[in-house]
């Protein structure tokens, strides 16, 4: 079984913020692939489905970002899911908006949700999909930046990114994170300009 985790904060005040792009991503995957309706479980909300024939549990921790690990560890323990079958999608300020990167393990880079998951799992070698939301340019402004809603102009890259993350999701079920990144990058490429027409 695959445990697909999106990180964010519960409640309408946080719903459209940069910190909640992980929630947005798993919502898009669940919609695209016909997962069950969301229901409350494991201190979060869960929906079940399949990705590439792999049974998948989508999870949105409702513990607030700083305690995300409580929900992730509870679900992983219940289903005996190894860390290699846990995929976490979350916001990354050190990537430009719309860029994505995959990695296994590593540090938290100051992300409180990841720090919490690291603290609650036996090892930190779970799979991570970092979703770029950009940096405000000033370290002191980071908290306000991630807790601020996306601007209307962000929809230009945000909507196509969420669609691409959902469309490529079966590759996560297959365990092909590199292929997933490649497909997302291809799906979010701006259209190439055609040859200039002569008058």
Secondary structure in 3-state letters for the chain: CEEEEECCCCCCCCCCEHHHHHHHHHHHHHHHCCCCCCEEECCEEEEEEEECCEEEEEEEECCCHHHHHHHHHHHHHHHCCCHHHEEEEEEECCCCCCCEEEEECCCCCCCHHHHHHHHHCCCCCCEEEEEECCCCCCHHHHHHHHCCECCHHHHHHHHHHHHHHHHCCHHHHCCCHHHHHHHHHHHCCCCCCCCCCCC
Domain contains 29: yes
Q: What percent of the chain is predicted at pLDDT more than 70?
A: 95
pLDDT at 143: 86
- Asked whether residue 92 is assigned to any structural domain, the reply reads yes
Question: In this structure, is residue 105 part of a structural domain?
Answer: yes
Q: How high is the pLDDT of residue 189?
A: 86
Q: Is residue 88 part of a domain?
A: yes
Q: What average pLDDT does range 95-113 have in this prediction?
A: 89
Please give the Cα distance from 173 to 121 (Å, whole number): 21
Q: Residue 47 above 80 pLDDT? A: yes
HSE at residue 83, side-chain half, CA atoms within 13 A, is: 16
Least trusted range by pLDDT, from 74-83, 140-149, 183-192: 183-192
Sheet-wide strand order for 2-6:
39-41, 44-51, 54-61, 2-6, 86-92, 127-132, 100-104
Enumerate residues 6+ apart whose C-beta is below 8 A from 88. Answer: 5, 6, 7, 22, 72, 113, 114, 117, 126, 127, 128, 129
The pLDDT of residue 162 is above 80: yes
Average pLDDT over residues 61-84: 96
Residue 21's pLDDT band (boundaries 50, 70, 90)? very high
110: its two tokens: 């100051």
**How much is the pLDDT for 191?**
65
pLDDT at 117 over 90: yes
Q: How many domains would you assign to the chain?
A: 1
The pLDDT of residue 115 is above 70: yes
Spatial neighbors of 194 by CB under 8 A, at least 6 apart, are: none
Look at residue 123 in the predicted model and tell me its pLDDT: 87
Give domain status of residue 151, yes or no: yes
Task: Classify residue 198: in a domain, yes or no.
Answer: no
pLDDT in tens, 149-158: 999 999 999 9
Q: pLDDT category, 109, cuts 50, 70, 90?
A: confident
Has residue 196 been placed in a domain? no
Residues 6 or more apart in contact with residue 191 via CB below 8 angstroms:
none
pLDDT at 195: 56
Residues with active-site annotation: 19
pLDDT on residue 196: 52
Q: What CATH number does residue 48 fall under?
A: 3.40.50.1470
Within a domain: 156: yes
Range of the domain at 72: 2-187
Share of the chain above pLDDT 90, in %: 82
- Would you state the pLDDT for residue 194? 54
**pLDDT at position 22:** 97
């Amino acid at each position: 079984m695959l445990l697909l985790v999106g990180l964010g904060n519960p409640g309408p005040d946080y719903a459209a913020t940069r910190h909640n792009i992980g929630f947005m991503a798993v919502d898009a995957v669940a919609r695209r692939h016909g997962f069950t309706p969301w229901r409350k479980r494991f201190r979060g909300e869960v929906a079940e489905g399949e990705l590439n024939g792999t049974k998948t549990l989508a999870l949105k921790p409702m513990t607030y970002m700083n305690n995300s690990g409580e929900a992730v560890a509870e679900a992983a323990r219940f289903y005996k899911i190894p860390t290699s079958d846990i995929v976490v999608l979350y916001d990354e300020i050190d990537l430009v908006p719309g860029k994505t990167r995959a990695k296994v393990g590593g540090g938290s880079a100051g992300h409180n949700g990841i720090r919490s998951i690291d603290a609650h799992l036996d090892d930190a070698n779970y799979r991570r999909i970092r979703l770029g939301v950009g940096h405000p340019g000033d370290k002191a402004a980071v908290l306000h930046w991630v807790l601020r809603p996306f601007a209307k102009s962000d929809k230009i890259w945000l909507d196509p990114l969420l669609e691409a993350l959902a469309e490529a999701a079966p590759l996560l079920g297959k365990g092909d994170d590199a292929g997933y990144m490649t497909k997302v990058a291809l799906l979010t490429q701006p259209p190439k300009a055609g040859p200039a027409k002569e008058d």
